[in-house]
Amino acid sequence: MNRMEAPGENERPNERRSSPRFRLALPVNVHVAWRSAPVTVELIDIGRDGARFKSPTCELGLEQEAAFGFVIPGESQSQGPGQGPSQGPSQSPSQSQSQHVCVANGRVVRLGDDGEFVLSVDRANDAFHGFLVSLAD
């Protein structure tokens, strides 16, 4: 016999997200079509389909297109054969670690009174998707 479930037991009512969101507090640059320079805002949370930001100074409109990006450290680059610490050229820590530039763009789908806005992610690069996978692990 099937029992009816109350809202919230197994899913949240009005939940439209098809993928999980991950909470962050990361400064990112947002590029808006009509601005000549990017604006640094706080990335509050992120998921495959969207991201939520906070900025008291960045004014946006609904359906406005925007892109955002941030840099994350990558895996350490391995040294080749015979290039151990005493045999190879010396490398500073910043030289031995790669970086990945995560970039996504989309449109504004929600505006809040407190400076928050939500972008629906329409396109993103491989580094962006890899970053989300690393958050899920």
Does the residue 128 lie in any domain?
no
Contacts of 25 (CB under 8 A, 6+ apart): 42, 43, 44
Does the residue 117 lie in any domain?
yes
| CA pseudo-torsion sign 119, 121, 125, 130 | positive
> Count of domains in the chain?
1
Q: Which residues pair with 118 in a beta bridge?
A: 52, 110
pLDDT at 7 > cutoff 70: no
Does the residue 89 lie in any domain?
no
Q: Compare 33 and 7 and report the one with higher pLDDT.
A: 33
Structure confidence at residue 51 as a pLDDT band (50, 70, 90) = very high
Does the residue 86 lie in any domain?
no
Does the residue 5 lie in any domain?
no
Does the residue 36 lie in any domain?
yes
In this structure, the number of other CB atoms found within 10 A of the CB of residue 8 comes to 9
Q: What angle do CA 122, 128, 129 make, to 5 degrees?
A: 85
CB 23 within 8 A of CB 45: yes
Q: What range defines the domain where residue 60 resides? A: 22-75+97-123
Which ranges constitute the DSSP H helices of 1-137? 126-136
Tell me the pLDDT tens digit for each residue of 65-93: 999 999 988 765 444 444 444 444 444 44
Does the residue 107 lie in any domain?
yes
Does the residue 90 lie in any domain?
no
CB 72 within 8 A of CB 100: yes
> CATH number, domain at 103?
2.40.10.220
What length is written for the chain?
137
Residue 7 gets which letter from DSSP? Answer: T
Tell me the pLDDT tens digit for each residue of 9-28: 344 445 555 677 889 888 99
